[in-house]
Structure 1
Amino acid sequence: MTRAKPLPALWLISDARNDAGLERALAKLPRGSGWIYRHYHLAGPERYARFRVLRRIARAKGHVTILADSALTAREWGADGIYGAARSLCPRRAGLIHLATAHDLAELGLAARIGADAALLSPVFPTRSHPGGGVLGPVRFRLLARQSRLPVIALGGMTAAQARALGWPRWAAIDGLSS
């Protein structure tokens, strides 16, 4: 899908562990960054209430707001798009940004085939989300990302310093943008 304007290069991802500092983190992001709201730890009504508070801050800064949920829920809640495994993004819904998760070349290919706007390829570096888990590392990440037919956003242990060392323009973080 061709987008009218480019996707943000910088993405903040919400999580239970960074919830207390999200207002501050959203306010500190450069104008027009991206924000992915997960908050799987909250029940429906509480999750929606927290989303509304944070969406207000994100909108004031011109951030793109993505919801880890269905296209129907994203529209009902006023999100700009959806995030999840490529299979969960089907069928494609017009008017919403689709961000797919990917961990290998097959998942990048699937994300491209279903028409995702970008893929978050992870984990690049060791991460608190998956302690002791395997990582792609910088060389493998770049090899995979360069073969992708869609924009790739680096995820996993990312900080501003890691993004510079990786030499990749698009990246996302939980802890790396929250502390």
Structure 2
Amino acid sequence: MAQNQPRLKSDESGLPDLWLLSDARNDPGLEQALTALPKGSGFIYRHYHLEPAARYARFQILQRIAQKHGHLVVVSGSPVLARKWQADGVYGAAERIPAAGGLLKLVTAHDWTEIVAADRAGADAILLSPVFATRSHPEAKPLGRVRFRMLAQKAKAPIIALGGMTAAKAQRMNWPRWAAIDGLS
């Protein structure tokens, strides 16, 4: 998505089905993972473990690779940061990104209250998690397939399944949009 294009609406096509999230533990393999993703996938850059200057430097390297392969690049942070870094979008909790000003807006949710907040905030997509047990949040109780589907069906914005996701699990769930850290690294 170019900076001057309007943000996606929840009923438009064009939202990638597959999303790779960055993390400290998958950092060493991100170049290879971005290259291996199908063209037109999505990349959510988090890298909370780095200091601001190092975080931006790493982002620039990964953004070039992602763009070379036709992937959308979304950054966790504010819309101001996303614009400054020339990202395609912004990622975070609804209260952190109430207005994205033309950027793709991916909002996190873990329950019905957060889904409602994401929809009210104008999310282009909601990352609903954790579907399954995950190393990122081992203390979190997984939603499981049934609860995940119940919550997903009530959302206005498209839902991206996150948390313990792999291609095999997405296929078994018959869920087209999913994201992973370990499952794609």
TM range (shorter): over 0.9
Q: Distance in 1 between matches of 2:47 and 2:107?
A: 17
For 2:55 and 2:74, locate their aligned partners in 1 and report how far apart those are by CA, in whole Å: 14
TM-score by length of 2: 0.93
Q: How does 1:9-28 map to 2 (within 5 A)?
A: 9-28=17-36
Q: Which residue is equivalent to 2:155? A: 148
Residue segments in structure 2 that go unaligned for 5+ positions in a row: 1-7
Cα distance in 1 for partners of 2:23, 2:9 equals: 30
The AA in structure 2 aligned to 1:154 is A
1:146: Cα distance to partner?
A: 0.8
Match of 1:39 in 2: 47
How high is the TM-score relative to the length of structure 1? Answer: 0.96
Q: Which residue pairs with 1:128 in the alignment? A: 135
- For residues 30 and 150 of structure 2, what CA distance do their matches in structure 1 show? 33
1:89 to 83, 97, 108: 97
Secondary structure class of the residue paired with 1:169: coil
- CA apart distance, 1:94: 2.4
What is the number of residues matched between the two proteins? 177
Does 1:104 pair with 2:103?
no
- Alpha-carbon RMSD: 1.1
Once residues 156 and 97 of structure 1 are traced to their aligned partners in structure 2, the CA distance between those partners, rounded to angstroms, is 21
Runs of 4+ with >4 A deviation: none
Write out per-residue CA displacement over residues 72-110 of structure 1, whole angstroms, 9 at most, x where no aligned residue: 1111111001000011011x2322001000001111111
Structure 2 contact 79–101 (Cα < 8 Å) conserved? no
- The alignment status of 1:62 with 2:50, answered yes or no, reads no
User: Structure 1: 5+ residue runs without aligned partners?
Assistant: none
